[in-house]
Structure 1
Amino acid sequence: MTQTALITGASRGLGAALAEALAPNHHIIAVAKTTGALEELDDRIGAKGGSATLAPMDVTNADAMATLCRGIFDRWGSLDLWLHTAIHAAPLAPADHIDAKDFAKSTACNVTATATLISYVAPLLGQIGQAVFFNDPNAGAKFFGSYGATKSAQITLAKSWQAETTKTGPKVHILTPEPMPTATRARFFPGEDRAPLNDPQGQATRLLAEIQVSSAL
């Protein structure tokens, strides 16, 4: 039976690469705000012989996420894998000049939505499913206040969940991708030479191997 993989933040970058890597062996439930990018992802997944359910929605909309998770339960009864790559990348700023609206958006997406999703997705994963979060070494660097503080809080939530589920499941992973030429990174490092950066497809293959999930990339 085909396994299911929920990817929040699936339209571009690492999320899209993970979706394509998993597509031959998983039905992909792809969540992102950008409908056009999701449709392009669906075309690429279809070209690999895979299938996807597109969910063009904002992870900060708790009602939409509840409806999605209920739909997953009604259709499949459970979920095998959740990969959480959705992130709000606030503009860089000194800690004493952080914009309140940027910080609120960062908190809503990176912290509150993550906590809400954990509560919604955990019952779908049960004892044997896997959840994957992605750390970022830039958290704590200068000018990364809004992004870094909320990204660190997200990972702290994941670490607590990981510790709480060691004996009961689901299996919670926290992985660290190497720098990639993503749109998020471009916001932080405009004008950076992207040639030395790591290919998202290669990172998807490496990261999935770390959690012993086969990929097709």
Structure 2
Amino acid sequence: MTKTALITGASRGLGAALAEALAPTHHIVAVAKTTGALEELDDRIQAKGGSATLAPMDVTNQDAMATLCRGIFERWGTLDMWLHAAIHAAPLAPADHIDAKDFAKSVACNVTATATLITFVAPLLGDAGQAVFFDDPNAGQKFYGSYGATKAAQISLARSWQAETQKTGPKVHVVTPPAMPTATRARFYPGENRTNLTQPADAALAVLQQL
């Protein structure tokens, strides 16, 4: 029976690296807003002999996520893994200068969509599947108000789910990946020397070894 892995935020960075790392053993359901990047990911997965289903969708669209999860159920019945790498990284700003629209986008993607997806994906994972969330130690630092507050809320949701499912499953993991030269980090650290950062492919392997 084919193992399946749903990756939300799969178009680039850690999400894409996880998709490629899992492709030899799992059929990848790759979700992201950027169609072109998903197609490039699919090419790399196929080059390694793997297969993927591309879902160019916005995780904040509840109807789209419901359709996606219903499609997964109808095709495979279950999911083996869900790795949630989707994030909205609002621009850095002092707490008293947070832009209302940026904050609303952060809440919608980082908090509301996560809560919605947990509700939709949990039945697919059952008691044997695994869900993976990614913590960020930058939450709570100066100028990280929109991103940090909503990222912390996302991880709080994940940790509550983790505590609730310890005896029943699914297995919920919260991991902290190393600093990587991603587009998200570039927004927070423009001009940073990236030579000492961990490449997403190496970070993905380290994450999977922790599961």
Same-fold call, TM cutoff 0.5? yes
Specify the alignment match of 1:115 in structure 2: 115
**Map 1:55-66 → 2, pairs under 5 A:** 55-66=55-66
Specify the alignment match of 2:143 in structure 1: 143
Q: Distance in 1 between matches of 2:21 and 2:4?
A: 13
Specify the alignment match of 2:157 in structure 1: 157
| TM-score between both structures, scaled by the size of structure 1 | 0.97
Specify the alignment match of 2:184 in structure 1: 184
Specify the alignment match of 1:194 in structure 2: 194
Deviations 1:26-48 (A, max 9, x none): 00000000000000000000000
Q: Distance in 2 between matches of 1:2 and 1:175?
A: 26
Specify the alignment match of 1:214 in structure 2: none
Specify the alignment match of 2:34 in structure 1: 34
Specify the alignment match of 1:53 in structure 2: 53
Aligned amino acid, residue 98 of structure 1: I
Q: Distance in 2 between matches of 1:90 and 1:185?
A: 11
Specify the alignment match of 2:67 in structure 1: 67
Structure 1 runs (4+) greater than 2 angstroms displaced:
none
Specify the alignment match of 2:126 in structure 1: 126
1:99 equivalent in alignment to 2:96: no
Q: Distance in 2 between matches of 1:187 and 1:27?
A: 32
Specify the alignment match of 1:210 in structure 2: 210
Q: Distance in 2 between matches of 1:183 and 1:157?
A: 25
Q: Which runs of 5+ in 1 are unaligned?
A: 212-217
Specify the alignment match of 1:167 in structure 2: 167
Q: Distance in 1 between matches of 2:72 and 2:55?
A: 11
Aligned amino acid, residue 102 of structure 2: D
Please tell me the root mean square deviation across aligned C-alpha atoms, in Å: 0.3
Q: Matched residue pairs, number?
A: 211
Deviation at 1:166, TM superposition (A): 0.4
Q: Secondary structure at the match of 1:132?
A: strand
Percent of residue pairs bearing the same amino acid type: 81
| TM-score between both structures, scaled by the size of structure 2 | 1.00
Aligned amino acid, residue 174 of structure 2: I
Deviation at 1:2, TM superposition (A): 2.0
Q: Secondary structure at the match of 2:133?
A: strand
Aligned amino acid, residue 93 of structure 1: A
Q: Distance in 2 between matches of 1:177 and 1:2?
A: 27
Deviations 1:102-136 (A, max 9, x none): 00000000000000000000000000000000000
Q: Distance in 2 between matches of 1:202 and 1:196?
A: 13
